[in-house]
Amino acid sequence: MIHTNLIPSWPKERDLACYELFTGLDFEKEILDDMAWIDIGCRTGKALSQIRKKSKAILLGVNAHPIRVRPGIISISATLPEDTDIYEKYKNKMDLVTDIHGAVSYCSNPLEALIYEACLLKHNAQAIIVTLEHRMGEPSSDVFKKIENFFKNTMNQTIEFQPFPSYSDNSKTLIHTMRITIKGKCHSTLSLNNLFLEARQYIGEMRKNKVISEAKDKSAQVWQILYRKNKTSLNNSHCEPF
């Protein structure tokens, strides 16, 4: 949980054009009046508020830090994946979930944040998450395949990983970025905690390896994550490919 009143000094907040570039979505076409879009880690909700001017959709913005969100957006203060309020209230209710360098990037367990966000999707909906490649484990390992199998066999959802290069606003250095797309509704009857447990047993226990990026004032850090099966992990979860 984030227990600080300090708002980290991140680079400039991304606008809708940048969200479009990162997600590959045309938000004006995508967000219809009867839809609901939740942006996890929205900061002031700049991208959401640009859509607010064009659409009557339900727009929700989530922050772990005490950030004032722009008018017309439902502002939620929560730290994923620990705070379960959003899960309880919006499970299977969202048409679009975005997380652009938000919870999956900064939280304690990115795999659990992904599972949490996937649970918010309703039928035919999608979640697009943009984070650093190394948040999901070593690209050379079989972790991506395992995550795909877990989503397919346990959650009945598809998940796709697309690495792409981007550049930091500050130093213009190359950043190995990853777009993660999850589609469909989660059909599992397991509780959120049991989904986390199954994921740990099948994919592995996560371990923080080293800091790969941080806010200028060092108040928020992005850790490289490695997944390791420990010897006590059961190997008989349902998610092995049949």
Ligand X SMILES: C[S@@+](CC[C@H](N)C(=O)[O-])C[C@H]1O[C@@H](n2cnc3c(N)ncnc32)[C@H](O)[C@@H]1O
- Please report whether residue 62 would count as binding ligand X according to CB under 6 A: yes
* Cα 208 off chain centre by: 18
* Cα 51 off chain centre by: 20
- Please report whether residue 116 would count as binding ligand X according to CB under 6 A: no
- Please report whether residue 150 would count as binding ligand X according to CB under 6 A: no
Contact of 136 with 225, CB cutoff 8 Å:
yes
Helices (H), 43-109: 46-52, 85-90, 103-106
- Please report whether residue 185 would count as binding ligand X according to CB under 6 A: no
DSSP 49: H
Q: How far apart are CA 164 and CA 156, in angstroms?
A: 26
What amino acid occupies position 185? K
Between residues 100 and 203, which has the closer beta carbon with respect to ligand X?
100
Instruction: Scan residues 70-99 and list those touching ligand X (CB under 6 A).
Output: 78-80
Instruction: Scan residues 24-53 and list those touching ligand X (CB under 6 A).
Output: 40-43
In whole angstroms, how close is the CB of 132 to ligand X at the nearest point? 12
Which of 10, 150, 202, 227 touches ligand X (CB under 6 A)?
A: 10
Which of 36, 48, 59, 64 touches ligand X (CB under 6 A)?
A: 64
* Cα 108 off chain centre by: 12
Between residues 41 and 204, which has the closer beta carbon with respect to ligand X?
41
In whole angstroms, how close is the CB of 98 to ligand X at the nearest point? 8
Residues 6+ away with beta carbon under 8 Å from 87 = 116, 119, 120, 192
DSSP 136: G
Q: Which residues bind ligand X (CB under 6 A)?
A: 10, 13-14, 40-43, 62-65, 67, 78-80, 100-103, 106-107
